[in-house]
């Protein structure tokens, strides 16, 4: 696009009334209009277009704006895509704006809602005959439609003797129906922009897979909020157990970015920009998937699972993607008996300094005690041996996922929430340390945490994931009454102003601890536990 821009005073731009020719309703997501000179000769056409007929609340809504010079001579208009300009304007009407909301780039960015601001120079562009300017504007940032329903948007351009109006374009906004959600973390990865949250939105045709990056707060400007919310695939109706993998590097710096899920007895993995997921048939619906999926810098994706019919741990591997030619199929590397029937499990990848070893922890309930089985599976191929520790006089907390993190030296730290008196809801947290050889180091410490005011519904422990030598460990317990107790609540039970995503997913940043939740609109996001 070749633009020649200069500034003239807005005061010199007299508004001229023109008769507008509105095109009839076209495709629900596109529309165009033409403008006339006073005598009705077309000059400039403005067109709006959406990629999709409907969007979720909070989803990126890219609206393509095209301005075309339909005259035989050059025209000069304000650059539609320059922030300081107050033309063109857009009017959005719908449930969020029943009376219509008119805005311009300037009013959105600078909060200057004056129709013709004094003392401001417009930045102009010249369009040759037939020349177009086109760009996609992020409508959700300019005028967020937060209520579900049908919307209509119209663009208008008025500048000197030029006037144009687009045909109205319609789109629909729907409420997210999150069926399964997962947070992927680049653990201790310098420069990582944030966490990768993915979720299924339930639709009649299947589970629509959405992805978003939640950029970590780094200035006052942004909170811990979604960036680039987009739908990337529609999975089958039975799709569940969505997994956004955890890594030990900044995945933005690499090509392969997996996500995976389960459909019945099959695991499916999808690489960004691919339209076809890889499918791995397990033969039977697994008893459980061990969270999280682990993604290696080479592009391999590992998923531990527990077999359905027996206490057996398996490892499924999706090989690094091939950018040309056929893909190497995913396969189950091995299955290994677990000493007792698991009630919870967690896996983790060691830092690259510790060879990215895959460690797995299984929690099992035995008579009167909780058994903790741990294994360093090395690169996932060289199997280790289960090492077992027992925590007497305790019961595994229902729905509690253990915390597991591998330090720089390959030592694993594990934390398990327990009930020491299930009837009275007295609870505790056990801390265990396993050496790189997989053996328990030191004694298991059990720290009483008090008494819950209601029965626990779910719980999770997690270690800090930001670059830090400290092995800070946080935890949260969700009670049946909807309240939470967490490591920062100083023993108090506190309400949660959002709906927690189950299973609970806790992200411990050095500056705060966040829980994956859904807001009132059903949008995934993070709630700071304070």
Partner 1 sequence: MKRTGRVARTAHDLTHLNRLHVPDFWVLKLALAIGGKSSKSHLQPDAPAGDGSGADTFHFAPEKETVELNYKIDDTRGVIRRARLDLFTRFDESHFWSFDLTKLGLGALSDGDHTLKWDGRIVKSPDAAPAAGDGGAGATPDLTSFDPDLKLQAEFPDGYVTVGHSPYKLRLTVSDDENEGGKVATAWTYFHVLLKKIELEIGPEKSLPKPPKGRSDKDLHVYKNSDTNAFNGTLPGDGDTKRVYLNSDIFKNSNAQLHNRADFTAYQGTWGDGPHIPIFAKAWVRDSGDQAVEAPKALGKVKFLWDAEDVPESGGSVYAGHHAKAKAFLDSSVNYDKDVTHPKGDNCHKDRGGKRGDDTKFFFPKQAGYGYGFAGDFDSDPQQDALKDREFPFKVDPCGTRKWSSFSYAWTKGTLASKTGVLFQPSRMAGDAYRVSVYLAFDKKMAEGKSSLVLDTAEDDPLQNANEAIKAKTGTFEVWRRLHFVRYMKKKAAVTPNFPIAKFQNYYKQAYVRMYDAAGAATSMTKADYDAKVTAAINARPNWYEKHMLSTTVASQYDAGNYGLHFNTWATFKTNVMAAQGWTVAQLNAFLGTVLNTDALYNAWCSNVASDTLTGICEQYMAADSGINLFQFNEHYNLATAVGGETLNGFAPGAAVGPHKADPTNSQCLFVLCAGPTNYNGSHNKAEQTVAHEIGHCLFMAHAPVILDKNGNVVTDIANKHDRTVHDKNFNNCLMSYNYDAERKWCGFCILRLRGWDRGKLQNDASKNKKP
Contact set with partner 1 (CB under 8 A): 60, 62, 81-84, 96, 105, 109-114, 117-120, 135-138, 141, 144, 146, 190-191, 193, 211-213, 215, 217-225, 227-228, 230, 232, 250, 252-253, 255-257, 271-274, 323-324, 509-512, 528, 530
Smallest distance, partner 1 to C-beta of residue 223, A: 3
Residues 45, 156: Cα–Cα separation, whole Å? 10
Smallest distance, partner 1 to C-beta of residue 57, A: 11
Non-local CB neighbours of 218 within 8 Å, separated by 6+ positions: none
Of 57 and 371, which has the nearer Cβ to partner 1? 57
The pair of structure tokens assigned to 217 is: 């707060």
Smallest distance, partner 1 to C-beta of residue 516, A: 15
Smallest distance, partner 1 to C-beta of residue 239, A: 18
Smallest distance, partner 1 to C-beta of residue 65, A: 9
Task: Kindly report the three-state secondary structure assignment for every residue of 400-429.
Answer: EECEEEECCCCCEEEEEEEEEECCCCEEEE
Of 23 and 528, which has the nearer Cβ to partner 1? 528
Residues 396, 215: Cα–Cα separation, whole Å? 34
Local structure of residue 319 (DSSP, 8 states) = P
Of 228 and 448, which has the nearer Cβ to partner 1? 228
Q: How many residues does the chain have?
A: 530
Smallest distance, partner 1 to C-beta of residue 497, A: 9
Classify each residue of 331-346 as buried b or exposed e, where b means 16 or more C-beta atoms within 10 Å of its C-beta. Answer: ebeeebebebebbbbb
Of 132 and 340, which has the nearer Cβ to partner 1? 132
Residues 103, 106: Cα–Cα separation, whole Å? 8
Smallest distance, partner 1 to C-beta of residue 231, A: 9
Do residues 416 and 401 make contact, with C-beta atoms less than 8 angstroms apart?
Answer: no
Of 44 and 271, which has the nearer Cβ to partner 1? 271
Of 136 and 312, which has the nearer Cβ to partner 1? 136
Q: For the chain, what is the radius of gyration of the CA atoms?
A: 28
Non-local CB neighbours of 510 within 8 Å, separated by 6+ positions: 464, 466, 467, 468, 472
Of 227 and 281, which has the nearer Cβ to partner 1? 227
């Amino acid at each position: 696009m070749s633009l020649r821009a200069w500034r003239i005073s807005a005061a010199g731009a007299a508004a001229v009334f023109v008769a507008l020719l509105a095109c009839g309703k076209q495709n629900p997501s596109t529309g165009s209009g033409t403008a006339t000179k006073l005598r009705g000769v077309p000059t400039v056409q403005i067109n709006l277009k959406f990629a999709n007929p409907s969007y979720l609340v909070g989803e990126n809504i890219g609206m393509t704006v095209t301005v075309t010079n339909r005259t035989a001579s050059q025209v000069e208009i304000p650059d539609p895509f320059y922030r300081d300009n107050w033309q063109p304007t857009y009017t959005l009407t719908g449930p969020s704006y029943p009376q219509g909301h008119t805005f311009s780039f300037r009013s959105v960015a600078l909060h200057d809602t004056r129709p013709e601001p004094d003392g401001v120079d417009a930045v102009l562009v010249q369009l040759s005959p037939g020349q177009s300017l086109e760009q996609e504007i992020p409508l959700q940032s300019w005028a967020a439609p937060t209520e579900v329903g049908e919307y209509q948007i119209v663009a208008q351009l008025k500048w000197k003797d030029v006037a144009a109006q687009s045909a109205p374009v319609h789109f629909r906004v729907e409420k997210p129906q999150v069926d399964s959600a997962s947070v992927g973390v680049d653990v201790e990865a310098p420069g990582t922009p944030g966490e990768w949250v993915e979720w299924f939105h339930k639709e009649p045709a299947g589970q629509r897979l959405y992805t978003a990056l939640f950029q970590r707060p780094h200035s006052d400007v942004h909170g811990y909020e979604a960036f680039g919310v987009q739908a990337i695939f529609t999975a089958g109706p039975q799709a569940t157990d969505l997994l956004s993998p955890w890594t030990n590097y900044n995945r933005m710096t690499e090509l392969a970015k997996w996500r995976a899920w389960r459909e019945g007895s099959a695991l499916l993995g999808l690489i960004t920009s691919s339209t076809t997921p890889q499918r791995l048939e397990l033969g039977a619906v697994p008893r459980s998937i061990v969270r999280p999926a682990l993604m290696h810098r080479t592009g391999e994706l590992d998923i531990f699972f527990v077999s359905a019919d027996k206490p057996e741990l398996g490892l499924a591997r999706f090989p690094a993607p091939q950018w040309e030619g056929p893909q190497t199929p995913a396969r189950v590397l091995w299955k290994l008996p677990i000493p007792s029937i698991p009630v919870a499990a967690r896996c983790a990848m060691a830092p690259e300094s510790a060879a990215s070893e895959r460690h797995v922890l299984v929690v099992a309930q035995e008579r009167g005690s909780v058994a903790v089985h741990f294994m360093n599976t090395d690169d996932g191929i060289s199997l280790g041996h289960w090492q077992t520790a027992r925590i007497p006089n305790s019961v595994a907390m229902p729905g509690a996922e253990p915390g597991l993190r591998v330090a720089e030296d390959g030592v694993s730290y594990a934390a398990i929430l327990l009930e020491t008196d299930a009837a009275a809801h007295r609870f505790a947290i056990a801390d265990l340390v396993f050496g790189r050889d997989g053996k328990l180091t030191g004694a298991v410490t059990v720290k009483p945490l008090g008494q819950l005011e209601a029965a626990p519904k779910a719980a999770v422990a997690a270690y800090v994931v930001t670059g830090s030598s400290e092995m800070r460990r946080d935890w949260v317990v969700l009670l049946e009454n909807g309240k939470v107790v967490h490591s920062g609540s100083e023993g108090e039970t506190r309400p949660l102003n959002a709906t927690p995503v189950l299973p609970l997913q806790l992200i411990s940043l050095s500056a705060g601890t966040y829980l994956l939740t859904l807001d009132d609109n059903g949008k995934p996001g993070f709630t700071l536990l304070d």
